[in-house]
Amino acid sequence: LKGYNIYRNDRVGQTGGGVLLAVKENIKSRELINKTIDNNEIVAIEIETKSYGRILIASIYVPPKAKIAPEVFRDLHQINNDCIVMGDLNAALEEMGSRKTNKKGKQLEDIINEGFLIGIDDNSTTF
């Protein structure tokens, strides 16, 4: 993408998959994490803002058959507690509009209850 710095963690040995963050070139940014832990694909960057200082932004993909790696969220929080985490965790939580909570939803709920995340979801349908 022209005019953007690209940070990506591509899935190795398979087609498809991986995570990517694109940041406009005029925003100061640097990569902090680019790895796969227990099949959790992660790329995390830090951007510098005038109003809020440094903010960590992470994109995470957890495949349907993988478990959420809670240490990822602890690590992100330790690096910078001003953190935005987004992605596809394949987690379903009733509190966030799902019909029922699945195992990964319970894992996510535990991470939220530990104080590492605040769940924000507008209950939009995802596919």
CA angle 28, 31, 33 (to 5 degrees): 150
Domain range holding 8? 4-113
Q: Is residue 104 part of a domain?
A: yes
The pTM assigned to this predicted structure is 0.85
* CATH code, 37: 3.60.10.10
Q: Is residue 118 part of a domain?
A: no
Q: Is residue 119 part of a domain?
A: no
Q: Is residue 57 part of a domain?
A: yes
Q: Is residue 40 part of a domain?
A: yes
Contact partners, residue 62, CB within 8 Å, separation at least 6: 39, 40, 41, 68, 69, 87, 88, 89, 90, 91, 104
The domain total for the chain is 1
Q: pLDDT tens digit string along 48-97?
A: 999 999 999 999 999 999 999 999 988 998 998 889 999 999 888 887 77
Q: Is residue 126 part of a domain?
A: no
Quote the pLDDT of residue 94.
82
Quote the pLDDT of residue 116.
67
Quote the pLDDT of residue 109.
87
Q: Is residue 122 part of a domain?
A: no
Q: pLDDT tens digit string along 65-79?
A: 999 999 998 899 899
Q: Is residue 123 part of a domain?
A: no
Band of the pLDDT at 121, cuts 50, 70, 90? low
